[in-house]
Amino acid sequence: MPDAHRRLIVVSNRVGPLVSGGKAGGLAVAMADALQERGGVWFGWSGDLSESGTWSQIRTEVHGEGPTAITLATLDMTEEDHAQFYEGYANRVLWPLMHYRTDLIDYEPRDEEGYRRVNQRFATRLAAHVRPGDMIWVQDYHYLTFAQQLRMAEINNRIGFFLHIPFPPPDVFNVLPRADGMLRALLAYDVLGFQTRRDADNMIALMESEGGERTGEDTIHVMGRDLTVKAFPIAIDARSFAELAATEEAQIAQARAERLLNGRQQIIGVDRIDYSKGLPERFMGFKKLLEDYPENSGRVSFLQIAPPSRGTLDAYARIREELEQISGHVNGRFGDIDWVPIRFTTRGQPRSALAGLYRASRVGLVTPLRDGMNLVAKEYVAAQEPDDPGVLVLSQFAGAAEQMTEALIVNPYSDGDIAEGIQTALRMEKTERIDRYQALMERLVTNDVNAWRHSYLTALDR
């Protein structure tokens, strides 16, 4: 168990909310729980743009008191910071790169400068508040160079990093201009955590190509530094999510969906609109189901909930249009006056309603082209009714596929494969559905988000 007396400092792009369960998504809940257990500081961007930006005063909000008090500490950014650091380098270079989409990289040297500048400013501002013994845990691709900047500010504390998105093989990573400099920046961390064995192996391969030598199962000596490089698959609080699915609010959403379905079976997808999620390919997979297995006509509906994310970026607007086109086409060609094959909404749902909608669905369709983990896959399973569960159809390229082997694993690039996966799920006998659900659920409960956090912090707290 980690030493609960060392203060924890979490760094992530967005800070809060400090709630467990409720409305917040996976990352926020995991961080809030970690801080609630041991107290500490949660540091990051306020969400506001101002002229003083990273030079603005650190805004602090203290919750609780004594050793487990939590301080939320935030800084603004300037409009330029946000355009270069966030929209530019983080989302037009690192996001596509890490998702193996080198074709979508839009690299501008000034965005890289902005990225490095924001990392440097945030790190320098935080450094003034770091105490000896504090453990610093940095989240995600926005802050690859954060530890290097802290080291320059003479912070010698343990600093860990966790990447929520995939990490590609060396040949792909090296497409990044000045990739070697980025690798060197990452070596300033003590622990590099990844979602899957595959991602961790890709990092180790990159380090070995630079002369690194493994010193143990998860440790490597490279360019004079000793690091832990390890997979820590992120998880959900499966028990709480299962409870959420049985609450009154969830039941209301479930009943509403079932009324509309009128005895038909529902297939559900839930994703932020993003090209990594394989949404157009998924819609084509559903179309293929209707073509290849016409017995589903009038009997199955596909509900896709796709709230916008980073809506300012053109790529996302284009996907949305494409989805509207495909669903319009499929509904026109296959639908009937009392049957809408695809229902597609960009309206976000409360978390409890989502749980009810998962439960109302015979098939959970999670087919990203590439995904760090994918928490929707885990939520879908956790929300199922134990004695009549639905079936998860899961992309082989979601990190979750490494653990969720009882799902029906499909290739998201093949519409035929998706259609076949859905068809198998729809036809599956109840006993087999229960067997698969039980195996998946047992693993979700054992390896929940608390176990994830503890294993990471144990590695960091050496």
Residues that bind ligand GDG (CB under 6 A): 23, 25-27, 164-165, 234, 270, 272, 305, 307, 348-351, 354, 371-376, 379
Tell the smallest beta-carbon distance from residue 249 to ligand GDG (Å): 12
- Catalytic residue check, 371: yes
Rounded to 10 degrees, the C-alpha dihedral 10/16/21/27 comes to -50
Number of H helices, E strands in the chain: 17, 16
Q: Give the H/E segment covering residue 270.
A: strand 265-270
Q: Which is nearer to ligand GDG, 116 or 351 (CB)?
A: 351
Q: Which is nearer to ligand GDG, 308 or 416 (CB)?
A: 308
Cis status of the peptide bond prior to 17, with omega within 30 of 0: yes
- Catalytic residue check, 190: no
Tell the smallest beta-carbon distance from residue 277 to ligand GDG (Å): 7
Q: Which is nearer to ligand GDG, 89 or 275 (CB)?
A: 275
Cα–Cα distance between 25 and 141 in angstroms, integer?
A: 18
Cα–Cα distance between 41 and 128 in angstroms, integer?
A: 13
What does the H/E/C string look like for 422-458? Answer: HHHHHHCCHHHHHHHHHHHHHHHHHCCHHHHHHHHHH
Give the CA count within 13 Å in the CB-facing half-sphere of 63: 17
Residues constituting the chain: 462
Both structure tokens of 455: 């294993």
Q: Exactly one of 76, 111, 371, 417 is catalytic; which is it?
A: 371
Q: Which is nearer to ligand GDG, 109 or 350 (CB)?
A: 350
Tell the smallest beta-carbon distance from residue 99 to ligand GDG (Å): 9
Tell the smallest beta-carbon distance from residue 179 to ligand GDG (Å): 21
Do residues 437 and 381 lie in contact, with contact meaning Cβ atoms separated by under 8 Å?
A: yes
Tell the smallest beta-carbon distance from residue 27 to ligand GDG (Å): 5
Q: Which is nearer to ligand GDG, 313 or 428 (CB)?
A: 313
Place of tokens 């929520």: 164
Q: Exactly one of 164, 190, 237, 448 is catalytic; which is it?
A: 164
Nearest to 189 by CA among 235, 213, 166, 223: 223
Q: Where in the sequence numbering do the catalytic residues fall? A: 164, 371
